[in-house]
Structure formats: C-alpha cells, structure tokens
C-alpha cells in the first residue's frame, strides 16, 4: 500500500464505546466502524486521544485495534494510536498494534517528561527503525506540554517509515512551515484541529484526523475533497456549516462532547471512563443546536 494512502483524506479519530460498567462495548465499536466506512471516509484511527486510550490497558488497546481491523481493515487503512511517553512502552505497543493488523501508527509525542529536541527525535527514530510500518508523528502540545520542533519533523520526514505529521498545535504558521519543509518527501500533513482543517489544507495539508467526522463524516469528507479538487467555494461552505459543531465538540475536554453528540444522534449511551465525566447540560444544548442546524441542510446542498 502506498504511503500516500495514510496521509490523504479524512480519518475519523474514533471514540471507544463503553458499557455502563466501564467495559468496552465491542458490538457498538464495530457498528461505529461500519457506519464510518459506509459514509465514505478514507481510513479509521482507533485508540487515539479521542478513543480514551489513556484509560485502556495494553491488552484492551490491542483488542480494540483487532475489532476495528476485523470490521473494516479490508476496506480502508487502520491507523492505530500507539504512542507513549516511554520509548520502550511505545515500541511494544506499536509492534503489538501492527501484529493486530493495523496498517499504520499514530504516535503522540512523549508527554509529561517533556524531552528536549534531541530526545524527541531519538524517540521517533528508534520506533521508526525498529517497527516496520508507516508512522505519523503527532504534535499536540496542549496534552503533552511540548511542541515537536519544525526541524525535528523535517528531519524525521526523510525516514522511510515516517510518512506524516498530525498537526494539533493551533499554530498555522508552524504547520505551514512543516508542510513547506517536507514537500519533497513522501510525507503528508494532517490537521488535528477540526476548526483549522480548511486553513491547514490551504497551506499544503493533505487531510485530517478528525473528531467531528465521528458525527459528520460526509460533510468533513466533502470539505477536504472539495479543497483537494480546488473547489474552495464548497470547502468554505462546509467549513462554515461545521464551525458551530466544531466549537461545541471542544466546549469540554475531548471526547466528552463528541460522545454526547453520538448519543444525541442515537448511536448509544455516552459512557466514559473515570476521570472523564458526563457533558454538562450547557454543552449538550450547544450540541443539539449545532446538530439540528446541520440536519436541516443536505450535504449536497
């Protein structure tokens, strides 16, 4: 499979459904994967931040990957979250995810211990050297406390196993520089902030790993592929339509609102693992208003 498969288009950052007792609801997980694939997305990203991976055991993590691969792995690429703040742990989880059938890996940068630039690059190089699978590095300083330096991303882009960069810093200038400095490599830049997907595409981005696509996969896909086709009028229209929902989905810590949105849409109860809590009524009202407005408009309008 060509590396560009993993860095072009729309890849929902999947939620992980839980039963009331906190166990993983694998039937709903498979239903969710099926619904997304049938909507026309370009791949699936289980067990990332949106999938509450921080609360899963390693065995559960692998079981989620296996279930999504079993349901949809023959139809779209499966990009498994597999990062850690420990290089040793990330190596083990990455290899186990590949063994479970994942086509590629999404690797959050080391959090909490906040390595310096040299340590950040060494972390990613060791995983890329030792795990033979396409890998996307993931910059999300709001969760990790440290940006991946532009120089680090540019240096890693030359590694044959490092195929992309998920950009969730909120800094379009930084994202633009990464796209500019990696344009000659087999490497893509994916938006990790739904409200910035269109700006990221406009400066050289190739797609999005999207929270919003859990509930509006068709519109997010239309936004991205319209932009790829040069139809920025349609892309801007989709951006404007989605912005109230994008804002509502981040009114509280992700994935609290997106699970509430899935519940509003009739896709099962919004159950979380502690320490996450239920969405407030204020957030639910924002979500209801945004979803009702979207329901009144056809995607093809």
Environment class of residue 13 by beta-carbon count within 10 Å: exposed (0-12), middle (13-18) or buried (19+)? buried
Tokens 């109230």, residue?
Answer: 244
The residue from 124, 165, 166, 272 that is catalytic is: 166
**Rounded Cα gap, residues 261 and 263, in angstroms:** 5
Angle, alpha carbons 146-88-46 (nearest 5°): 70
Active-site entry in 138, 165, 259, 272: 138
Our answer to whether residue 138 is catalytic in this structure is yes
**The model's pTM:** 0.95
Residue by residue, pLDDT tens for the chain (301 residues) are 556 677 999 999 999 999 999 999 999 999 999 999 999 999 999 999 999 999 999 999 999 999 999 999 999 999 999 999 999 999 999 999 999 999 999 999 999 999 999 999 999 999 999 999 999 999 999 999 999 999 999 999 999 999 999 999 999 999 999 999 999 999 999 999 999 999 999 999 999 999 999 999 999 999 999 999 999 999 999 999 999 999 999 999 999 999 999 999 999 999 999 999 999 999 999 999 999 999 998 665 4
Could you confirm whether 166 is annotated as catalytic? yes
For residue 54, the cross-strand partners are none
97: its two tokens:
């995810």
**Tokens 């039963």 identify what position?**
19
């Amino acid at each position: 499979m060509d590396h560009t498969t993993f860095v072009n288009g729309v890849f929902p950052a999947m939620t992980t459904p839980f039963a009331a007792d906190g166990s993983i609801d694998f039937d709903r997980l498979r239903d969710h994967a099926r619904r997304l694939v049938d909507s026309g997305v370009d791949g699936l990203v289980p067990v990332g931040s949106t999938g509450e991976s921080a609360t899963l055991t390693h065995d559960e993590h692998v079981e989620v990957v296996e279930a999504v691969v079993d349901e949809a792995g023959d139809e779209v690429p499966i990009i498994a979250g597999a990062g850690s703040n420990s290089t040793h742990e990330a190596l083990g989880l990455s290899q186990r995810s590949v063994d479970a059938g994942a086509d590629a890996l999404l690797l959050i940068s080391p959090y909490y211990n906040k390595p310096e630039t040299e340590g950040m690059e060494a972390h990613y190089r060791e995983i890329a050297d030792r795990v033979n699978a396409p890998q996307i590095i993931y910059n999300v300083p709001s969760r990790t406390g440290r940006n991946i330096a532009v120089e680090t991303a540019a240096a890693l882009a030359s590694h044959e196993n490092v195929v992309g960069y998920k950009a969730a810093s909120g800094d379009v200038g930084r994202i633009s520089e990464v796209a500019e400095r990696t344009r000659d490599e087999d490497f893509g830049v994916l938006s990790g902030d739904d409200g910035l997907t269109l700006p990221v595409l406009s400066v050289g981005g190739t797609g999005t790993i999207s929270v919003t696509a859990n509930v509006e996969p068709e519109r997010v896909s239309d936004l991205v592929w319209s932009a790829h086709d040069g139809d920025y009028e349609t892309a801007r229209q989709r951006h404007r339509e989605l912005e109230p929902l994008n804002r509502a989905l981040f009114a509280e810590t992700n994935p609290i609102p997106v699970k509430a949105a899935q519940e509003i849409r009739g896709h099962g109860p919004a159950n979380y693992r502690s320490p996450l809590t239920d969405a407030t009524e204020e957030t639910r009202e924002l979500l209801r208003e945004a979803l009702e407005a979207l329901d009144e408009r056809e995607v093809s309008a």
